[in-house]
């Protein structure tokens, strides 16, 4: 799943650790989401959207399986 998380986080001047603390996860989780290695739970996606005052769809875009 593609996401706009790194841009939003950097625009807010947050480190991965600061964002992680704000939404209750580890820095490694934020890093994995930003690198498209982990799709967040629905609960975490809502927390991220609330943190950035936007919708989930503003941050995440489903990828296309080529399989």
Considering the domain boundaries, does residue 61 fall inside one? no
- Which pLDDT belongs to residue 65? 52
Task: With beta carbons less than 8 A apart as the criterion, state whether 27 and 13 touch.
Answer: no
- Which pLDDT belongs to residue 67? 46
What single-letter DSSP state applies at residue 61?
E
Domain residues for the domain of 27 are 2-53
- Which pLDDT belongs to residue 18? 98
Considering the domain boundaries, does residue 63 fall inside one? no
Q: Rounded distance, CA 53 to CA 45, Å?
A: 12
Tell me the CB-side half-sphere exposure of residue 55, using CA atoms within 13 A.
3
What single-letter DSSP state applies at residue 50?
H
| One pLDDT digit (tens) per residue for the chain, 67 residues | 899 999 999 999 999 999 999 999 999 999 999 999 999 999 999 999 999 999 999 999 987 554 4
Task: With beta carbons less than 8 A apart as the criterion, state whether 3 and 60 touch.
Answer: yes
Residue 12 belongs to domain with CATH number: 1.10.260.40
The distance from CA 23 to its chain's CA centroid, rounded to whole angstroms, is: 10
């Amino acid at each position: 799943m593609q996401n706009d998380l790194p841009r939003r986080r950097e625009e807010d001047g947050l480190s991965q650790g600061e964002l992680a603390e704000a939404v209750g996860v580890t820095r490694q989780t934020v890093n994995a989401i930003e690198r498209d290695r982990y799709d967040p739970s629905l609960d975490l996606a809502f927390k991220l959207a609330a943190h950035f005052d936007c919708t989930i769809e503003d941050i995440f875009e489903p990828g296309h399986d080529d399989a």
